[in-house]
Structures are given as structure tokens and as C-alpha cells.
């Protein structure tokens, strides 16, 4: 039933003992290689495009365009940490951003109430996904694909294939349009959400439980961890965060249309999968996910400024996803070798 597994490959202090400098570098390269590649791309594009790339205007553009993807990637990595996958993040954002606008323009809801309703619906959707996966025992890929398709159909039915437009209050526009220290406020949303998730996953028991479930749900259950409870909770958190992202997308676009939203699914998954190849390779993690989103943003922005064609972005996302999955698979196999080796040595002794 597992769509993915979550294990870690980051070297421990004992792993590094007795290694030469070259061996230590090779051991750390899979951990920080993507970070170094990101820095290298920034330097290269800054040299090639000194008048456009290393500018505040370009930084604002990248943050404004990629904050939605970053939040969706963080939403996707929560179920991934528990060994599941949630495809409704891409389909749901279509409905959530439409509802955030239509509840105000068509039904007269005050914007705070409209936002609250969308967030509650996101939580309900996540809870339903959790029930399908843990109670009905449907593979998470199939379950969330089905749920997501239903959400997309509801968006088409609600709009009738037309745009949802209307005057919205300035307070709703400010959710996305405010500038803080000269930068879009959405970038600060990403930092806050990432910090909260990092603390929860790395320093609180809930994080250890979720990662334990992702690594081996049967062993986690035998150790007294309520697997069903935490998996459903992971989907609920993902649903809430994807609904919040839908609200921010509505504030950014100021119109609702069913043709917008699905294009965020692939980049969000790419960012989450790339996150499992850096910082803590072999395991999805918060800062690795942000690095994955950043390298996508930097690469696409630089290539487009150099003169890349319109198909560069989906091509770059698709190729990067394949590379990310390949690296993650290699990390998983490498982890298995590292784990088995001490047992084999003990057996031979």
C-alpha cells in the first residue's frame, strides 16, 4: 500500500570517523550537492546576465511566482514523510481559489469568512483522503487522484467553464499583494510555514512518529505508534495548507478559473521529491524541499532570461522530476547497503 517510503541517509558522526578528507567530501556530496548546484547556478546566471538576474526586481519576481509552488511542495511533503502521496494539492487548488472568490462575489460572504470556509473545506478534504487511505485501504496515489479529479469536476461545474470575476475588498488583495521590507509577503509566509514544519518534524514527537511511519509502518505500529491517527493527520495538514495556498492564489490572480491550478502540481511534486535528495537524502525534509523549489525557480528564470522557449519550464520540471526520483531511489538503495553491512560483518565474525 506504500506509495513511497521515507528513510534517511545523512551521515552520522560515527560514519565520518576514520575517513580521509576526500572520502568525507564524497560522503557529504549527496547531502549538500543540490545546495552547491543551486549556488553555482546563481553565480553562473549572475555572470551571464549581470543586468537582469542579480537584481531586486528579479528576486521579487521569483518570490512572487514561486511562493505558491513552495507552499504546495511543503503541503505535499507532509504525507510523503508518512510514506504516502497527496495529489489533491494540485487539483484542490483549482477549486479552493475559485471558492475563495465566488463566496465573496456570488454569495456575499465577508472575505475573512470566505477564507475560513475554504480552509475548513480543505481540512475536510484531507480528512476524507486519510479515511480512504487508512480505513478503506486504498493506495494513496489512487485515492488522492480520485478525490482530486472529483474536486476538479466540482470546480468545472461551479464555474460552468467561465471565469469568476468581481470586485474584491482590499483586505483580501493584501493577503498576497503586501510588500514587507521590499519583498512580497508570500515569501515570508513560506518561511513561517517552513519554520513551523521544521520544528514539528525535527524536534517534536509528532515528527519522529511520522518519519517512523514513513520508514516502516508495521514496525511503528508494533512500537505503539497510532499509525492511522498520524496518517490521517498528515492528510488533514496537507489539505489545510493546500487550501491556504488556494486562498493566496485567489488573492494574486483576482479571478477564478478552472484552467488555472493544475500546472502547479508537477512543480510542487518535483520540489518535494528534490527535497528528499538533499540535506537529509533519502527522506523528505523541509529545508531540502525549499532548496528543491529554489533550484527550479533559479534554473527556469535564468534559462528564460537567456532566451529559452515557452516549453522550457515544463521540460525543465519533468526532467528534474525524473532526476530527483532517480537520485532518491539511489539514496534508498545506498541506505539499505549501509544498514546491512554491519549485520553482515557481525555474521561473518
Evaluate whether residue 24 is within a structural domain: no
Q: What is the 8-class DSSP label of residue 8?
A: -
Q: Which residues of the chain have pLDDT under 50?
A: 1-3, 338-349
- Rounded CA-CA distance 349/339 in Å is 17
How is residue 164 annotated by DSSP?
A: B
Quote the radius of gyration of the chain (alpha carbons, Å). Answer: 21
- pLDDT value of position 30: 64
Angle, CA 328 vertex, CA 323 and CA 332 arms, to 5°:
150
Please report the pLDDT score of residue 339 as a whole number.
45
The answer to whether residue 1 sits within a structural domain is no
For position 126, which CATH number holds? 1.10.3470
Cell numbers given for 130:
486519510
pLDDT value at position 166? 86
Where in the sequence is the domain holding 235, given as residue range(s)?
31-338
CA gap 226, 229 in Å, rounded: 6
Ordered DSSP codes for 256-310: B-TTSSGGGHHHHHHHHHHHTTSSSTTS--HHHHHHHHHHHHHHHHHHHHHT--T
**In contact, 148 and 87? CB cutoff 8 Å:** yes
Residue 58, in any domain of the structure: yes
pLDDT of residue 149: 95
Answer whether residue 343 is part of any domain. Answer: no
Residue with cell 480520485: 146
Q: Is residue 3 part of a domain?
A: no
* pLDDT tens by residue, 122-146: 999 999 999 999 999 999 999 999 9
Q: Per the domain annotation, does 233 fall within a domain?
A: yes
Give the number of domains in the chain: 1
Please check whether residue 18 lies inside any domain of the structure: no
| pLDDT (0 to 100) of residue 27 | 62
Say if 217 falls within a structural domain.
yes
**Phi, psi (deg, nearest 5) at residue 4:** -145, 165
pTM of the model as a whole:
0.86
Contact between residue 178 and residue 188 where contact means Cβ atoms under 8 Å apart: no
Q: Cα(174)–Cα(160) distance, rounded to whole angstroms?
A: 28
Residues 272 and 73 sit within 8 Å (Cβ to Cβ): yes
* Cβ pair 276, 80 in contact under 8 A: yes
> How many Å apart are CA 97 and CA 242, to the nearest integer?
10
Amino acid at each position: 500500500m506504500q506509495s513511497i517510503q521515507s528513510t534517511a541517509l545523512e551521515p552520522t558522526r560515527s560514519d565520518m570517523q576514520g575517513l580521509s578528507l576526500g572520502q568525507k567530501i564524497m560522503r557529504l556530496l549527496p547531502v549538500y550537492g543540490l545546495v552547491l548546484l543551486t549556488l553555482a547556478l546563481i553565480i553562473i546566471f549572475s555572470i551571464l546576465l549581470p543586468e537582469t538576474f542579480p537584481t531586486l526586481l528579479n528576486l521579487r519576481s521569483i518570490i512572487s511566482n514561486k511562493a505558491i509552488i513552495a507552499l504546495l511542495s511543503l503541503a505535499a511533503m507532509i504525507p510523503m514523510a508518512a510514506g504516502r502521496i497527496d495529489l489533491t494539492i494540485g487539483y484542490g487548488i483549482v477549486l479552493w481559489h475559485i471558492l475563495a472568490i465566488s463566496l465573496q462575489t456570488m454569495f456575499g460572504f465577508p472575505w475573512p469568512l470566505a477564507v475560513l470556509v475554504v480552509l475548513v473545506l480543505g481540512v475536510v478534504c484531507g480528512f476524507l483522503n486519510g479515511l480512504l487511505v487508512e480505513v478503506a485501504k486504498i493506495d494513496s496515489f489512487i485515492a488522492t487522484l480520485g478525490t482530486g479529479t472529483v474536486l476538479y469536476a466540482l470546480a468545472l461545474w461551479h464555474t460552468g467553464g467561465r471565469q469568476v470575476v468581481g470586485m474584491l475588498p482590499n483586505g483580501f488583495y493584501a493577503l498576497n499583494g503586501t510588500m514587507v521590507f521590499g519583498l512580497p509577503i508570500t515569501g515570508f509566509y513560506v518561511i513561517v510555514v517552513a519554520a513551523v514544519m521544521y520544528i514539528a518534524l525535527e524536534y517534536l514527537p509528532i515528527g519522529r512518529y511520522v518519519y517512523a511511519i514513513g520508514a516502516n509502518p508495521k514496525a511503528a505500529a508494533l512500537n505503539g505508534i497510532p499509525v492511522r491517527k498520524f496518517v490521517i493527520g498528515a492528510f488533514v495538514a496537507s489539505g489545510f495548507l493546500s487550501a491556504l495556498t488556494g486562498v493566496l492564489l485567489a488573492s494574486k490572480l483576482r479571478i477564478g478559473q478552472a484552467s488555472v491550478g493544475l500546472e502547479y502540481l508537477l512543480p510542487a511534486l518535483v520540489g518535494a521529491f528534490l527535497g528528499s535528495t538533499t540535506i537529509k537524502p533519502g527522506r523528505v525534509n523541509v529545508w531540502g524541499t525549499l532548496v528543491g523549489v529554489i533550484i527550479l525557480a533559479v534554473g527556469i528564470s535564468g534559462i528564460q532570461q537567456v532566451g529559452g522557449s515557452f516549453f522550457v519550464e515544463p521540460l525543465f520540471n519533468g526532467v528534474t522530476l525524473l532526476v530527483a526520483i532517480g537520485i532518491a531511489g539511489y539514496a534508498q538503495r545506498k541506505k539499505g547497503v549501509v544498514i546491512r553491512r554491519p549485520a553482515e560483518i557481525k555474521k561473518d565474525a
